[in-house]
Structure 1
């Protein structure tokens, strides 16, 4: 099969087509043990049932076979799974009923407890809620995580952001939940580029003021906090917060733009990983982490460097549609039968955007079966009206 096809490209005077021949070398396949030097979670997406009514606003209909199969694939690479997180379409198609089932099914299969699950408040209807309503919603979701035997990730809450009038309101909610949790919790600081409804989270639009609130919360609850995931796409913010954390509390990078340098670390500390991009570049992530374990920084950089342009493409603005790129690559690599998503989010990116994603995935070596990827993308282009 010829590994060449015509791909859309953006042009000043309108769209065009250009021939593209694949040139990347796929990262070597294999299985890996969990990394010794870093904790590494991949935030896995859900696979939509292609026969389900997965239209915007409808309850999610999940293809459980391929959803769980993708998690087994991540575990085989030594990665842990961050389940029911933003990458799994929370707040954008994945409803609370489906989320509970997802957590139960995934946790039941996780090897050696290598799973953490999102606990939020998204079962609340849109609109204004009291702080007690927010606490009750969190408690319900923490209980599901606890019943599944999974580590909880206390997700940033739209309802709390709307209800809170000061940093003290955030402290009231977080202190209550952390006190009650039976397992150390991963906190979740998600920026408005991922969810505009979270603007001003922690009670301030200022990073420094918000960081003061987070550090105070962690210092007062250090025994109950495993770490904090920060997704602000600014490496300087992450390093500043990382350097203020008490010993034993991890900084989980959620920076899908700057993860190689943040995971490598500096003379003071390093970050661990809780990343959406790891679901898209899983073989490369596994190989890079092994190189880091082996103190082979040259190999670490060689493997990770070409994945960064791909990550920046997938997470480009509007960033909250990055899930489309994750599912697109999972489909190209044969992990799901079709390019469909809950909530109809497969329409979140244009064909030229997906074509650039395809090129960069090839160059990063994360198209694991190039012939399959070419065949599938060619079929998508043709059904979209493009003769590729």
Structure 2
């Protein structure tokens, strides 16, 4: 059976993920310039970052379940246009309140990323699902890490508003590209929107596989968030004193590691997702030994960043493969619930890394990141048998011989 995704379609969908997620993280490298322009004091700058995150979390709950009811190609197109609208509002905002509203709107519809992953899972044959998910979700990492480099440089030379004008233009262009290149899904809705939300609550409360993968994701992205929310602190301090543009270039090291993990999807297709999850989490914990050396060696730090992002992407792809295989008819809902755990973990890492750094420096922050990785590994080991449950969901019991 041929894949429902050609190379061209995979490229378009990977770009959709990269650009959509960048609208949430693009403010971080230019936050000080944006705050000055909008008249915000230092204590209020966090609202510019929080707006997109809050909108994103709301979208995971309220919008992603629509993917199980409506043609996902149409949703991808509409959500990209609305993301562009939010980014455009932020770019031309005369005051801080309008900018925050625009960022929240853009974050709300940036969950087109999860609609995209569910679309990929739905149109891919079982033997190619992991490979395709891995290829497309690599765009997410490109967006999260790449925007730090691009926005930092662009913001320094052209201003923070240009960053969001560019993102808005790219979202609009990709909406047209998705409409022209993707095939519509031929399926009938199985429930109403209210039923879809109720199903999401039931899955979040009682689906053992989702709970286990969600717990792993929570600690996985707490570790990830500890690095990327706090890395600018030791780089801007003695002995390096790097500016935002130079610090943003470390995102390139993260991209190298994350893109190197694209093969994790192929491993998942071969039934190795549980094993990949465990060894990658162990590697994640070990990477902090290198990252902790940020105060003395940039080369060791770069090596640690590459290893960390490789491990995070390998676990992330494996988790999504397991969930979409177990719930093919509810792939949007389970991915939405899973990504809510991702968002909460990232927020935990962002909050605690600054606390740890202010209390005891980068060594304490590194110990914290390693601890989150260790807790993720513990959760994965304790729930190692759960993939058998996933197989039971998608493989109906055989009929007894005498009943045939």
Scaled by the length of structure 2, the TM-score of the pair is 0.27
Scaled by the length of structure 1, the TM-score of the pair is 0.28
Task: Flag the structure with higher strand content.
Answer: 1
